[in-house]
Amino acid sequence: MMSKMNDKKQSTQDTEMIRRTYAPIAMAMAIMMMFWGILCHPYGISIWSMSLAGGGLFAWALYSWMKEVCHEWSIQDEA
């Protein structure tokens, strides 16, 4: 009985949880900001700054997400 509990505890310690990242949420928000700026332009509302901010947020989110993926891959290669 005790060995089963130790095995279960060991198996949960071996698996690591993936760290949380805000990059996917930020990327979704950036896409919506870009489309909002583009869609409001024909109605005489000049929100190009919203599209530019969305583009900047998209670039940051993509960089952040890919940096995290590369970091995880390098950890897996070391193991």
Q: How much is the pLDDT for 16?
A: 64
Q: Count of H helices and E strands in the chain? A: 3, 0
**Which residues have C-beta within 8 Å of that of residue 32, sequence separation ≥ 6?**
54
Q: How much is the pLDDT for 2?
A: 53
53-70: per-residue pLDDT in tens? 999 999 999 999 999 888
CATH 1.10.287 fits 21-78, yes or no: yes
Q: How much is the pLDDT for 14?
A: 54
1-56: per-residue pLDDT in tens? 555 555 555 555 555 666 778 999 999 999 999 999 888 877 777 678 889 999 99
